[in-house]
Amino acid sequence: MTSSSDDTSCVHHPRASLDGFDSFPTPIYRASTIVFPDAQSYRTRGSRIPDGYSYGLMGTPTTRALEASMTRLHAGERSIIVPSGQAAITTVMLTVLKAGDHVLIADNTYPPVKQFAREVLEPLGVNVSIFDPMDLDDLRSKIVRGTTRLVWMEAPGSTSMEVCDMLSIAAIAHEAGALAGCDNTWASPLLCKPLQLGVDVVAEALTKYVGGHSDLLLGSITFADFDLYAKLRRQLANLGVGVSPDDCSLALRGLETMALRMRHVGGVASEFASRLAGMIGPDKVLYPALEGSVGHEFWKRDFTGASGLFTIKAAVSDTSVLDRALDGLNCFAIGASWGGTRSLVAPMSLAGERALRAVDADMIYLRVSIGMESADELWADIAGFVRALDGHR
Ligand SMILES: *Cc1c(COP(=O)(O)O)cnc(C)c1O
């Protein structure tokens, strides 16, 4: 038999000294249990919420470091990290909305959010309306003072890439007593800071540019107001939603190179978008930085640059032509999600996706994410792809 003191020694490790040790990375702090120094502090642990540590689910110093970075980049009040970009949006909606409330969602919002509204919010008794983000009169005619609690938008819109007037939409929401929220994933806080335009809450998929390497899923929510932040922190405890410190550590690492990556992919995407517009026509390339794109004036007013994601529209009557063109890609991979070091193409159809804004139902929308490969090789690949879509190669 082993002695009981050996058993205990296996469990109670000596603490290594941190004296003289200093390094750059934020340590990965893992915890379910948080240990309290005495009975009194355990009894009153509720007073540590929402910023402090009381249970691992609500975050460790690794989570808080990432939250603090997002808060500083957005010049916000507080941020919360959640398991995905989708969770960032849905937990905001589940916290702000209750039965009988009304929510307005922009027509070009990330499609899973519209599905969540139909399949989760409506059965809970929340009234959902879709508005045209490029038509402020449409928003004014649908917003209901005292009943509309939230106006949700995304700039630029998913796939179709229109940039809405976030400043005016937030003002219209506030006049009616509603909150304004937006999905800022395309821009990241480096290219747009919606809180400065009057938006109350910003959601982002850190899965994309912050993670930056196609290997993690995380989302962030950044608040202009402390009370809404505290309410959401509590709601996440109710729902039992938390994140892994390992994922937060990867996101903190991704963040360190994000500015450089964004400048690079934004530069390459801008160059490619203009060249492609010259090749196939300006109406076939959807990218906020292109003159004449829908909402280009708001992009110029509110954004400091463009990221690496744009859309090519192609009339493809025969699926085999599309498949052959996609299969002929060398440098670009086929896949959803984006914002990583690897360049991607994802074909989509917007048929049946939009309630208000006209789309070309029989055209294929090819979402292109520029990565970090050689720009010359990428250009040869995409130019060949566009020619192959046209049926000749
Ligand atoms: C990818 C994406 C999301 C969802 O992010 P996940 O982390 O994949 O859930 C939300 N909004 C936009 C604009 C996105 O591109």
DSSP 136-163: HHHHHHH--TTTEEEEEEESSPTTT---
The burial of 57, by beta-carbon neighbours within 10 Å (0-12 exposed, 13-18 middle, 19 or more buried), is given as: middle
Provide the pLDDT confidence category of residue 2 given band limits of 50, 70 and 90: low
Measured between alpha carbons, how far is 126 from 279 in angstroms, rounded to an integer? 46
pLDDT tens digits, 11-20? 999 999 999 9
Which long-range contacts link 52-60 to residues 24+ away (Cβ below 8 Å)? 55/237, 56/30, 56/31, 56/32, 56/242, 57/32, 57/236, 57/237, 57/240, 57/241, 57/242, 58/233, 58/236, 58/237, 58/242, 59/242, 59/243, 60/29, 60/30, 60/31, 60/245
Three-state DSSP class for residue 106: strand
pLDDT tens digits, 127-144? 999 999 999 999 999 999
Region 318-327: mean pLDDT is 93
Measured between alpha carbons, how far is 103 from 105 in angstroms, rounded to an integer? 6
393 Cα to the center of ligand 1, angstroms: 34
**Ligand 1 mutation target, pool 81, 82, 84, 188, most atoms within 8 A of CB:** 84
- The protein residue whose alpha carbon is closest to atom 3 in ligand 1 is 85
251 Cα to the center of ligand 1, angstroms: 15
Q: Is the pLDDT of residue 392 over 80?
A: no
Question: pLDDT value at position 318?
Answer: 86
Residue 250 tokens, joined: 């990867």
Q: What is the pTM (predicted TM-score) of this model?
A: 0.96
The answer, yes or no, to whether any atom of ligand 1 lies below 6 A from the CB of 85, is: yes
- The protein residue whose alpha carbon is closest to atom 6 in ligand 1 is 85
The answer, yes or no, to whether any atom of ligand 1 lies below 6 A from the CB of 205, is: yes
Query: Could you give the C-alpha distances from 122 to 115, 133, 180, 199, in angstroms and in order?
Result: 10, 21, 20, 24
Provide the pLDDT confidence category of residue 393 given band limits of 50, 70 and 90: very low
Measured between alpha carbons, how far is 109 from 157 in angstroms, rounded to an integer? 6
Q: Is the pLDDT of residue 327 over 60?
A: yes
Prior bond of 50 cis (ω within 30°): yes
The closest alpha carbon to 82, from 280, 232, 250, belongs to: 232
The closest alpha carbon to 235, from 99, 93, 368, belongs to: 93
Amino acid 289 reads A
**Ligand 1 mutation target, pool 153, 164, 185, most atoms within 8 A of CB:** 185
The answer, yes or no, to whether any atom of ligand 1 lies below 6 A from the CB of 54, is: no
Atom in ligand 1 nearest the alpha carbon of residue 208: 1
Cα dihedral 302, 303, 304, 307, rounded to 10, equals 180
The answer, yes or no, to whether any atom of ligand 1 lies below 6 A from the CB of 307, is: no
Region 140-168: mean pLDDT is 97
The answer, yes or no, to whether any atom of ligand 1 lies below 6 A from the CB of 183, is: yes
The answer, yes or no, to whether any atom of ligand 1 lies below 6 A from the CB of 207, is: yes
Task: Give the residue ranges of DSSP H helices in the chain.
Answer: 4-11, 39-43, 61-74, 85-96, 111-116, 136-142, 166-175, 188-191, 226-239, 245-280, 296-302, 319-327, 375-389
85 Cα to the center of ligand 1, angstroms: 5
- The protein residue whose alpha carbon is closest to atom 13 in ligand 1 is 185
- Answer yes or no: are the C-beta atoms of 343 and 349 closer than 8 Å: no
Provide the pLDDT confidence category of residue 390 given band limits of 50, 70 and 90: confident
pLDDT tens digits, 23-52? 999 999 999 999 999 999 999 999 999 999
Atom in ligand 1 nearest the alpha carbon of residue 207: 7
- Answer yes or no: are the C-beta atoms of 182 and 309 closer than 8 Å: no
The answer, yes or no, to whether any atom of ligand 1 lies below 6 A from the CB of 67, is: no
Q: Is the pLDDT of residue 391 over 90?
A: no
The answer, yes or no, to whether any atom of ligand 1 lies below 6 A from the CB of 247, is: no
The answer, yes or no, to whether any atom of ligand 1 lies below 6 A from the CB of 165, is: no
The answer, yes or no, to whether any atom of ligand 1 lies below 6 A from the CB of 86, is: yes
Q: Which H or E element spans position 221?
A: strand 219-223
